[in-house]
Amino acid sequence: MRAFIFPGQGSQAVGMGQALSDASPVARAVFGEVDEALGQHLFRTMTEGPAEDLLLTENAQPAIMANAIATLRVLEQEGGIRLADKADAVAGHSLGEYTALCAADALDLATTARLLKLRGRAMQAAVPVGEGAMAALLGVDLERARTIAGAAVDAILAEGGPELVCTVANDNDPSQVVISGHRIAIERAVALAKELGAKRALLLPVSAPFHCPLMQPAADAMDAALAQADLRAPLVPLYCNVDAVAVADPGAIRALLVAQVTGMVRWRESVLAMVDAGVSEFVEFGGKVLAPMVKRIAPDVTATSVVTMDDVEELLKRL
């Protein structure tokens, strides 16, 4: 069995999509449709920058999606294949869940782009700039990360400070967990991390504290937007971030996408669930972030990243 997987924020870089667009009219059509849906020259920002504009959450999210979908569409249309014939499941990391739904024909491309633009804006607006932060804890598992996060909150309370949010945002793999919340608490967690068992802890260059309770205003915004979106059953099951199980019902998917804004991304558990279901091959489209995580979670599976035309042609030989 095979799963197609799609990366989340952090995989963007100026120049993304340029070579694919130069090589394929199919890719150019995807980037053009996204630009039209958003009413902006997003592809120009993707290929020419400036980097600070691409880094903006409201641009990064649809850009990463567009790049991944363009890569998949090239595979499908120029290779003459259908996702439903070559994949048994889809999954995505955070915003990648929307890409996965677009790939599996549950959302059309224009709707996906507009939803991600709104999601990015709403997530950025949910917390004033500077009040939130995220950090990666390396060399720890989920339980150790929760211990570190709790210790930071307890330490601040013991000093007479307020009760702040500091919680696990992403359970990425057995040795990488991301925490999110109020900046003061996250910085305290980073300071405590090494003595509590982490090999390393570092603040992430993000503009908001994603996947924590502080994102509730963004969850409310997505609830309203998704209620109006034409969301169909995906061609193959989606393994969702929130509960790491396969889902195909559109109503359930809507609820899970809303819950995902404030909830933990259970990527490690999602990969294990797919492996338990029989998936032995993972193909990441549009990035080189998830495939290495998959190998750390399940060393015996095959995990590849498809980014370039050469990657597409190599994958077509195996399919």
Tell the residue number behind the tokens 């290929």, with chain if given: 47
Tell the residue number behind the tokens 């910085």, with chain if given: 187
Assess contact for 311 and 285: CB atoms under 8 A. Answer: no
Assess contact for 282 and 301: CB atoms under 8 A. Answer: yes
Assess contact for 215 and 262: CB atoms under 8 A. Answer: yes
- Grouping H, G, I as helix, E, B as strand and the rest as coil, residue 246 is strand
CB atoms within 10 A of CB 18: 15
Here the tokens at position 208 are: 């908001």
Nearest residue to 156 (alpha-carbon basis) of 187, 196, 178, 131: 187
Catalytic residue positions, numbered: 94, 211
Handedness of CA 181, 187, 189, 194 (dihedral sign): positive
Residue 168 host element (H or E): strand 166-173
Residue 238 host element (H or E): strand 238-239
Assess contact for 236 and 223: CB atoms under 8 A. Answer: no
Q: Are strands 166-173 and 2-6 parallel, antiparallel or unpaired?
A: unpaired
What secondary structure letter does DSSP report for 74?
Answer: I
CA max distance for the chain: 64
- Phi, psi dihedral angles at 7 (to 5 degrees): -75, 165
